[in-house]
Amino acid sequence: MAVADFTISPPSPQDEEGWRRNWAAYRTRYDVIVEPLTTDVIWARLLDPASSLRGLIARDEQGNGIGFCHLVLHDNAWSLRPFCNLSDMFVAASHRRHGVARAMLKRIIALAEENRWARVYWTTGKGNEPARALYDSVVGGPDQMLQYTVRLKH
């Protein structure tokens, strides 16, 4: 499969079934349970132009969803322009190593430049070597910041 065999653009209502399938596979990969209502709300936010949650869908030649990414735009204390957190990125196993993730990253960076976002950033697991190799090849390696997380139980 060559790069020309897929497209990347914002989600549309027709993408829901493929997004849900890939979203379920992504959560399974990380062993995360998300309430069905949360999934419904995330999908609605992805389609809402007023939401701070944005997304991109990668589609094959037949229009089937083969990957996605979720972006969260937010204010910050460092710039008057928004920061963009690449919250989630996933490519279906059958389409990995064909340039889909790289193309999504490049599209995110292009969106950041077009919209004058101040920064695009993301985190990944230390042991996620395939993703880290891709990220290093696109941005030259991680910065010097470490992320600490407090997971609250409600």
pLDDT band at 133 (very low <50, low <70, confident <90, very high): very high
What is the arithmetic mean of pLDDT over 121-144? 90
For 75-113, write each residue's pLDDT tens digit: 999 999 999 999 999 999 999 999 999 999 999 999 999
Is the separation of the CB atoms in 27 and 33 below 8 Å?
Answer: yes
Rounded Cα distance, 101 and 86, in Å:
12
pLDDT given for residue 4 in this prediction: 53
Write down the domain spans for the chain.
3-139
The answer to whether the CB of 21 falls within 8 A of the CB of 118 is no
pLDDT in the model for residue 150: 85
Q: Does domain 3-139 have CATH number 3.40.50.150?
A: no
Of the candidates 50, 26, 42, 12, the residue with the CA atom closest to the CA atom of residue 101: 26
pLDDT of 126 reads 87
* Tokens found for residue 109: 């960076």
Helix extents (H) in 5-128: 16-29, 36-47, 100-115
pLDDT at 134: 93
What pTM, to 2 d.p., does this model score? Answer: 0.91
For 134-142, what is the mean pLDDT?
90
- pLDDT band at 152; cut points 50, 70, 90: confident
pLDDT tops 60 at residue 43: yes
Give the pLDDT confidence score for residue 2 in this predicted structure. 46
| Poorest-pLDDT segment among 10-14, 80-84, 87-91, 142-146 | 142-146
pLDDT in tens, 48-63: 999 999 999 999 999 9
Among residues 3, 6, 4, which one has the least CA distance to residue 62? 6
Sheet strand arrangement including 53-60:
6-9, 53-60, 65-74, 83-91, 119-121
